[in-house]
Structure 1
Amino acid sequence: MSHLDQVLARIDEDLGASLNRLFGLLRIPSISTDPAYKEECRKAAEWLAADLEGLGFAAGLRETPGHPVVLAHQRREGAPHVLFYGHYDVQPVDPLDLWETPPFEPRLAELPGGRKIIVARGACDDKGQVMTFIEACRAWKAVTGSLPVGITVLLEGEEEDGSRNLPAFVEATKEELACDVALVCDTGMWDRETPAITASLRGMLYEELTVRAADRDLHSGLFGGAAQNPIRVLARIIASLHDADGRVTVPGFYEGVAETPPEVIEQWKALNLTAEEFLGGVGLKYPAGEKGRLLIEQIQSRPTCDVNGIIGGYTGEGTKTVIAAEARAKISFRLVGDQNPDAIRDSFRDFVRRQLPGDCSVEFIAHKGSRAVALPYDGPVLNKARKALAAEWGREPVTIGSGGSIPVVGDFKRTLGVDSLLVGFGLDDDRVHSPNEKYDMTSFHKGIRSWARILAELAQ
């Protein structure tokens, strides 16, 4: 029996103890956004540091202006070195009355059909996912006395609060964080039987703009037809952001957008993601993105522009016939490939200014922009992960993109110069950020086994 077979057998034998350890972490209400839980966040960090120290890691807490970072190292001479990232903080639990049981009293439950699930806040996002990796390390240590590769573990406590202090921490400790590749377990599977590797993450640009005209709200009976109406001006600008085919019209927007390789497109076609399946659950029928693109392209590999909010004029009960003095909008762009958020911000602002009529002005508020990140579809790290996941799940993993953004992956690329391998075991029905959050027992068990296999492959 190979070392890997022994490690997998150990994981199976130790599953009950692994679950108990996860429950211990889930009982700690580490809500990072609420100052009332500051000490609980530290308690969760201390719990993890102690657990890692018990596995032979040089582990401890590193202070930040916010919640502490857990940092742990275990070197292995002559072997590759990986950096594992996760987070120990969780979302608030409101509304509490929608929870079937208290959110920080973890429990096992069974769904129709016999699926066993772990129910608690943080069960999936991200404590359950973090512990799949730590338990894989535990099994390797128990069987062989060592890890197959060198490992640094970085667990932050502010992911649910925007990771405000993490970029500065990564910059300050970049020499200590040096590695060959980063591993991130904060993503999901394609479905319950099909593992997924997230090979790309869209970047983000977020802008707020305020269009102003008169120095006060005006009576529409007196000034209507003569005075500029900022709401109408802003609405016209917003409407012009897309053409009839759903493409974004901001000049230069598609610079740096590459086509997805044909072999990947064929793989995505085989997944047969339909509008009925994807949109039907939210009461919609028709994809609204670029015409001529697969639905899966629209949500994963193509850039987008969306209006997230419009504010202006009278919005109270009843009527008030005014021409508003100003109108505001919040607009976000999801970026892919080599799109430059700074260049797009400049082009967007010029696009808006060119459409302003006389008597109108505009003010912009900038929020942080982040570039998209991607692993080469045929890269060696990706191929090793594919091999490991296929061996565990009995089917080839799907290589997908994520429509969302995980800013720390960009920080790892820019600051440490390393790519990130994103493998997670969450499911679409895990109710992440919602009441009754859950994590399938299969995700937990086979997630541990998957990481054990990936570590073995990375050691080759």
Structure 2
Amino acid sequence: MSTLQTLDHYFTENRERHMEELKAFLEIPSISALSEHQPDMQRAAEWLASAFKDTGLENVSIEETAGQPVVYADWLHAENQPTILIYGHYDVQPVDPLHLWETPPFEPSIRDNKLYARGASDDKGQVFMHVKAIEALMKLDGKLPVNVKLIIEGEEEIGSPSLEAYIRENQNKLAADLIVISDTGMYGPGQPAICYGLRGLAGVQVDVKGPKGDLHSGLYGGGVQNPIHALVEILASFRDKEGTIAIDGFYDQVRDLTDEERSAWAALDFDKEAIKKEVGVKELTGEPGYSYTERTWARPTLEVNGVFGGFSGEGIKTVLPSEAGAKITCRLVPDQDPDDIVAKLRAHIKKHEPVGCTVTVTDFDKGKPYLTPYDHEVIQAAGRAYEQVYGVPTVYTRGGGSIPIVAAFDEILNLPVVLMGFGLDTENFHAPNEHFHLENFDKGLRVISTYYGEVEKLGL
């Protein structure tokens, strides 16, 4: 019996137990953004630590940081073999709006071979897969083909504010030959993908203050600046009518796509009509001169995520509001720097500040973009592991989203990062009815286990 057949038998025999264990993990409402869930954060960390010990991992510890704890474990008995550092997170997004969930977000349920729960795909389900892949290899062989270290944090959904300091303080402890992260997605159903790049992030809030209080629009309208009008003027200045960002110097540091990348992406089976249907729009828009894939994977963006101010209740209230605001995020690409982009945003807003109001800009999340050569041997080994299980060639993509800590791993530990995900874009992570396709859960267990063996063959 081949190694893959042996693994397949083990995972099939233990499928029901694994599902019940994963459900228990998903039942913990470990929402890092909400302080009332602090006890749940601790419970999730303790659950993971217990699971690590049961699997046979060693040096298991719940380590304090300035924020939520990090759960660490390792197994280091594969002499003269590479060491894989596995990263993930146990925190999840808030569940609002709750009324849109078909079943309660922390009562996991299976429908149509999909596991529904907050965290099912992002990222508890994918973290759990690594734990069970290690369990299988330990049960079947009594050892692992490579050394492993696991670092699972509790603040990824709020930008990992404490993790970079932890990494810097523990560089020797975290020393490895490569990093594996399962917090990304596949290209499509049945089509595995290796993500070799992520966009960075720069977020700000713009607040516009006008009169000291709300005013009667009949008495003062036309003579006093309306903060909402001023805000709209600022927001409209960010992009031209074609969608190009109009901030001075915004594109100066953008690294161009290679001809090879553009050709490879153009050859992908991209269905424009399916995307329009999926998101419910009549047309796709964006920066001229680039395809949808290029715009969403490798070009920078500026998006207004929220606007607030004035009266928004039922009916109408003839008020000239005192203040208004907007939340803005920019997705960044190599070689853009978040601090530089925020500085350019501030300068642009100052230049376009309307009279009769005061504008304040507040920084929020920041993260650098990440890119590694997709022909790196550890990435190609991951591609082979996918292909053995899925039976189709792996495609190599960039991710439009951001995992800010990836760039910190790259910069501090100077290791190649393998983004080895099993989710699908349609799985509603960060939204109501988050779910995980169990076909990819099942195959993913086999891919991860196979990948450890592929890394062993590299002779790093």
Q: TM-score, normalised by structure 1?
A: 0.88
Equivalent residue for 2:90, pick from 84, 88, 91 = 88
Please provide the CA RMSD for this pair. Answer: 2.8
Residue 245 in structure 1 maps to residue 246 in structure 2? no
2:179–2:416 contact (8 Å) kept in structure 1: yes
- Which residue is equivalent to 2:11? 11
- Which residue is equivalent to 1:128? 125
Deviation at 1:46, TM superposition (A): 2.2
- Which residue is equivalent to 1:296? 293
Greater shift in the superposed pair: 351-360 or 222-231: 222-231
Q: Which amino acid in structure 2 is aligned with residue 300 of structure 1?
A: W
CA spacing shift, 1:222–1:10, aligned 2, 3 Å: closer
CA distance in 2 between partners of 1:146 and 1:419 (Å): 25
Q: Which runs of 5+ in 2 are unaligned?
A: none
Residue 349 in structure 1 maps to residue 346 in structure 2? yes
Q: Which amino acid in structure 2 is aligned with residue 19 of structure 1?
A: M
SS at match of 1:369: strand
Q: Which amino acid in structure 1 is aligned with residue 19 of structure 2?
A: L
Q: Which amino acid in structure 1 is aligned with residue 374 of structure 2?
A: Y
SS at match of 1:264: helix
CA distance in 2 between partners of 1:429 and 1:358 (Å): 44
1:3–1:144 contact (8 Å) kept in structure 2: no
What percentage of aligned pairs have identical amino acids?
Answer: 40
Residue 151 in structure 1 maps to residue 148 in structure 2? yes
Residue 50 in structure 1 maps to residue 50 in structure 2? yes
Greater shift in the superposed pair: 150-159 or 258-267: 258-267
Residue 413 in structure 1 maps to residue 414 in structure 2? no
CA distance in 1 between partners of 2:145 and 2:124 (Å): 23
- Which residue is equivalent to 1:67? 68
Deviation at 1:443, TM superposition (A): 1.1
Greater shift in the superposed pair: 147-156 or 231-240: 231-240
CA distance in 2 between partners of 1:379 and 1:168 (Å): 28
Deviation at 1:445, TM superposition (A): 1.1
Q: Which amino acid in structure 1 is aligned with residue 84 of structure 2?
A: V
SS at match of 2:366: coil
Deviation at 1:197, TM superposition (A): 1.4
CA spacing shift, 1:413–1:226, aligned 2, 3 Å: same
Greater shift in the superposed pair: 71-80 or 425-434: 425-434
Equivalent residue for 1:259, pick from 230, 245, 256 = 256
CA spacing shift, 1:160–1:358, aligned 2, 3 Å: closer
CA distance in 2 between partners of 1:43 and 1:321 (Å): 50
Q: Which runs of 5+ in 1 are unaligned?
A: none
- Which residue is equivalent to 1:191? 188
Deviation at 1:40, TM superposition (A): 3.6
Paired residues, number: 455
Deviation at 1:53, TM superposition (A): 2.1
SS at match of 1:271: coil
Residue 209 in structure 1 maps to residue 209 in structure 2? no
List per-residue Cα deviations over 1:318-363 (Å, max 9, x = no partner): 5555555544332221101110121222222222222335555432
Q: Which amino acid in structure 1 is aligned with residue 81 of structure 2?
A: A
1:275–1:286 contact (8 Å) kept in structure 2: no
SS at match of 1:304: coil
Greater shift in the superposed pair: 213-222 or 172-181: 213-222
CA spacing shift, 1:376–1:325, aligned 2, 3 Å: same
CA distance in 2 between partners of 1:312 and 1:106 (Å): 38
CA distance in 2 between partners of 1:101 and 1:236 (Å): 42
Equivalent residue for 1:276, pick from 268, 273, 276 = 273
CA distance in 1 between partners of 2:105 and 2:324 (Å): 41
Equivalent residue for 1:78, pick from 64, 77, 80 = 80
Deviation at 1:236, TM superposition (A): 2.7
